[in-house]
Structure 1
Amino acid sequence: MRVYSILLFFGLCLALGACNNENVNERPQQKYDIPAIDQLSQLIAKSPQDASLYADRSRAFWEAELYKEAELDAEKALALDSTKVEYYAVLADAYFDNQHSLSAIKVLEKAIDRFPQAVPLYLKLAEMQNIVKQYQEGMLILDKLEKIQPSQPDALYLRGNMLRDMGDTAQAMESFQATVEQDADYLDAYMQLAILGDKINAPYTVSYIDNALRIDSTYEDALLLKAQYYHFRSQFEEAEATYKQGILRQPMSPNLNYNLALMYLELGDSAAKQTEKAQDFFTKALRHFDNATKFDPQFADAYYYKAIAAERLGKKEIALKEYENALNMEVLLKTVDPATVEAAMARLRS
């Protein structure tokens, strides 16, 4: 009932141009102990007919994840002034994040009818439709936007996201490529090209990652992706150098430390017959697993593999402690079955 009542209310607002201010969002002013919100509430008390104040407070509520309140203020802003295109976007965001996606989409569709040249409305609508898997509808919106503003980079990127989510990797990559041709500094498009290219072993995958790092040399996802590119292809020297470079740029990254440690553990197991070399790899693995848990104390899988590295080094007490740490946060284990941890602990205690 809530969704349909919202749509009915909003439809009436659009039909009449504005709603009766006295029937919308009338509630006692209250303190939220959030400075931005409370300050806006004071201003609203002095200027209750200022639509921009309600729009601003709606955004503040939205940022505080108070979505019901954000909805009410956005509705009030539109009731006071339905000529501001940005107020429709504010209301759509509030509806969408309060799980009223149908209402959000309807708001944007009506807004586009009223403001057919407002590019941000098309982009926001297409993004929401992609999230709720209305791919065909989203594609139609992007087609309409293409007629208004051809080769708009954000639209090309959104089209690539939709094609990717629909399983059309080749077309998605073409759209992401078109994005960076229009905007050579579109970091997210380079990352999507790298991720998809990595999956299909496409040429120039590393160059896509390097372009992302050209834009932001400390971007952790790109640093990790490049190291893993070499790691997963058994190019261990390149992988080690890239992991270390990444850690220099992001020294407190649990993920970079964890993945480098996994590689050292793998290399240690492969060099088992060369005891001194294997021990060196296990020692390095233990150090970087320790860094991973230091920088993220809830990294359950890192505790498990840290225990394995310690066990390989003959440090049974440390290994048992780390297995216990992993088991104590078993709900956070992502790649390890708790039964596997229990079996390891039983083995050490026997």
Structure 2
Amino acid sequence: MKAKLFFSLLALIGITALSACGDGAGDNAEGGTPEMGQTGNPTIDGLTQAISANSGNPDLYVKRGDVFYENRGYDEAIRDYTKAIQLDTTQPVYYHKLADAYLDYFKSRQALEILKSAAQRFPEDIPTLLKLSEYHLILMQYEESMKTIDRVLKIDPQNAEAYFMFGMNFEERKDTVRAINSYQEAVELDASIIGGWVNLGQLYAGLGDPLALRYFDNATRIAPNNITALHSKADYLTATNDLEGAVALYRRIITIDPQYDDAYFNSGLLYLDMDSLSKAEQQFDLAVKVSPTHIRAYYFRGLSRELQGKPAEAVSDYEQALRMAPDYEQAQERLNGLKEAG
């Protein structure tokens, strides 16, 4: 659970409650954070200047809040989103952004209360209700999550995302049959819900049913550039011993996102299984170049080098892994073995 502190807002959130929730946001109508001066971020500094010239425009605060949020400036983002709500209480998306900032700031209870208040203010707004249901799910409040989904279906009985959320709830509660039924209903109503296809594939895979591949195929056919779908299918192919097929999918992922380090790392593991040691080493090398803190990639690059008869290079990799993770027992054992042999 992300946060233990329970934060209670008014049932229908008001300006005073929002100000307290935002740690003083809005006290300064000229931009909210005068003490910061120039931040060094040209986008933020430009928006601050625009706010100084037009302090009654809520969209400017939202835009600046978005930049702060993207850069993990959660206090500043919360202040800006709160100020935007003070200026215009009629925009549900402002509440969504504020809740997301609290959630990512490890204040999930506050985030939930923001959404509960938004759902009271906008009782017919389906995106708000779906988001509230999702947050209840995050906090493992399954009954509340499902009650909120029922509210959505009363407004729109054919809402595919509501059925998807039902599936998520049932899956979390280990009710596989009802989870499958819910996901199937979701994708029948809207085939573009890729998460539904992927989750169906994973559930059928867990049951040992080869029908799983059909669902993964549907996901990657409908969304050929969706990395989650491609990675999930690669995991399935790996589990069913189609290693070449899995490697091909990881190559495809890399063409979409060359910075996706897990594609290199997992390819390396597959090449190790196929005894293609030089290819494995190359993939682990790419993984650490993309992600220099990928501890296991250093270990497995060392292992692939050791197996190729490159002890000095392997020692260097094991030592690097141990510098980052001193309790990495496998790396220590391999290192000790090489030193004893040398």
Given candidates 297, 300, 313, the residue that maps to 1:302 is: 297
Comparing 300-309 with 247-256, greater Cα deviation is found at 247-256
2:131 is aligned with 1:124: yes
What displacement does 1:26 show? 1.7
Show CA shifts across 1:191-229 (max 9, x none): 222222222222321122222221333444433433332
SS at match of 2:186: helix
Comparing 174-183 with 71-80, greater Cα deviation is found at 71-80
Given candidates 162, 167, 170, the residue that maps to 2:169 is: 162
Query: 1:241-256 maps to which residues of 2 (within 5 A)?
Result: 241-248=245-252, 250=254, 252=258, 253-256=260-263
Given candidates 164, 189, 212, the residue that maps to 1:182 is: 189
CA distance in 2, matches of 1:307, 1:110: 54
Equivalent residue letter for 1:328: R
What displacement does 1:147 show? 0.5
2:53 is aligned with 1:46: yes
2:72 is aligned with 1:70: no
Show CA shifts across 1:232-285 (max 9, x none): 23x3xx3214413531552545433433332343344xxxxxxxxxxxx33443
SS at match of 2:55: coil
Q: Number of residues paired by the alignment? A: 323
Query: 1:186-265 maps to which residues of 2 (within 5 A)?
Result: 186-233=193-240, 235=241, 238-248=242-252, 250=254, 252=258, 253-265=260-272
Comparing 204-213 with 67-76, greater Cα deviation is found at 67-76
CA distance in 2, matches of 1:110, 1:9: 6
Which structure 1 residue ranges, 4+ long, deviate > 6 Å from structure 2? none
- Residues 108 and 60 of structure 1, relative CA distance in 2, 3 Å threshold: same
CA distance in 1, matches of 2:297, 2:61: 47
Given candidates 297, 319, 341, the residue that maps to 2:331 is: 341
What displacement does 1:140 show? 0.5
What displacement does 1:11 show? 4.3
CA distance in 1, matches of 2:203, 2:333: 38
CA distance in 2, matches of 1:328, 1:166: 40
Structure 1 stretches of 5 or more lacking a match?
269-280, 332-336
Q: Which has the higher contact order (CA 8 A, sep 6+)?
A: 2
Comparing 159-168 with 103-112, greater Cα deviation is found at 103-112
Equivalent residue letter for 2:95: Y
CA distance in 1, matches of 2:263, 2:25: 51
Equivalent residue letter for 2:185: A
- Residues 119 and 309 of structure 1, relative CA distance in 2, 3 Å threshold: same
What displacement does 1:138 show? 0.9
CA distance in 2, matches of 1:241, 1:106: 46
CA RMSD of aligned residues (A): 3.3
Given candidates 7, 22, 41, the residue that maps to 2:9 is: 7
What displacement does 1:126 show? 1.0
2:92 is aligned with 1:88: no
What displacement does 1:73 show? 3.2
Contact 1:119 1:145 (8 Å CA) reproduced: yes
TM-score by length of 1: 0.78
Higher Rg: 1
Query: 1:130-149 maps to which residues of 2 (within 5 A)?
Result: 130-149=137-156
What displacement does 1:152 show? 1.3
- Residues 339 and 147 of structure 1, relative CA distance in 2, 3 Å threshold: same
Structure 2 stretches of 5 or more lacking a match?
none
Equivalent residue letter for 2:333: A
CA distance in 2, matches of 1:189, 1:112: 25
Equivalent residue letter for 1:7: L
What displacement does 1:38 show? 3.1
